[in-house]
Each structure stands twice: as C-alpha cells, then as structure tokens.
Amino acid sequence: MREIDCARISAAVARLCVESNRYLPPEAERALRVAAGRESWPLARGILDDLVRNLDMARAA
C-alpha cells in the first residue's frame, strides 16, 4: 500500500476549497449580473449587487 504524507493531502484540500469558492461558471456569472441589473426590489437588488461585488473582489485576489 502506498503512503501519502498527510500534509500534502491537507494542502491539496485547502487549495481546492479556496478554488471552489472563487470559481463561478461564466453562464452563472452572466445570469447573476443580468439579475442584478433587472431587479426592481431594493433589498433583492442590494443582495445581488453584493454578490457581484464579491465576485469581482474574488477575481481580483
């Protein structure tokens, strides 16, 4: 049986967690931006705008 260092596993899991929280498929990003632009209810519009800002900040990081 092959042995794998647990530090390598931990590092890979950490990297994948960050990556999975920073990646959004292009079609989902477009839908989010369109929804933010079309939403007429102020509370919902604010939430969608927050999500778009978070996406932009994640892309810049």
Asked whether residue 8 is domain-assigned, the answer is no
Query: What average pLDDT does the structure give for the chain?
Result: 91
Q: Is residue 10 a part of any domain in this protein? A: no
Q: Does any domain span residue 34?
A: yes
As for how many domains the chain has, the answer is 1
pLDDT at 1: 83
pLDDT at 58: 80
With a CB cutoff of 8 Å and minimum separation 6, the contacts of 33 are 52
Q: Is the pLDDT of residue 21 over 80?
A: no
Q: What is the pTM of this model?
A: 0.65
Mean pLDDT of 34-47: 96
Instruction: Give how far Cα 30 sits from Cα of 12, 22, 27, 33, 36, Å.
Output: 29, 15, 5, 5, 10
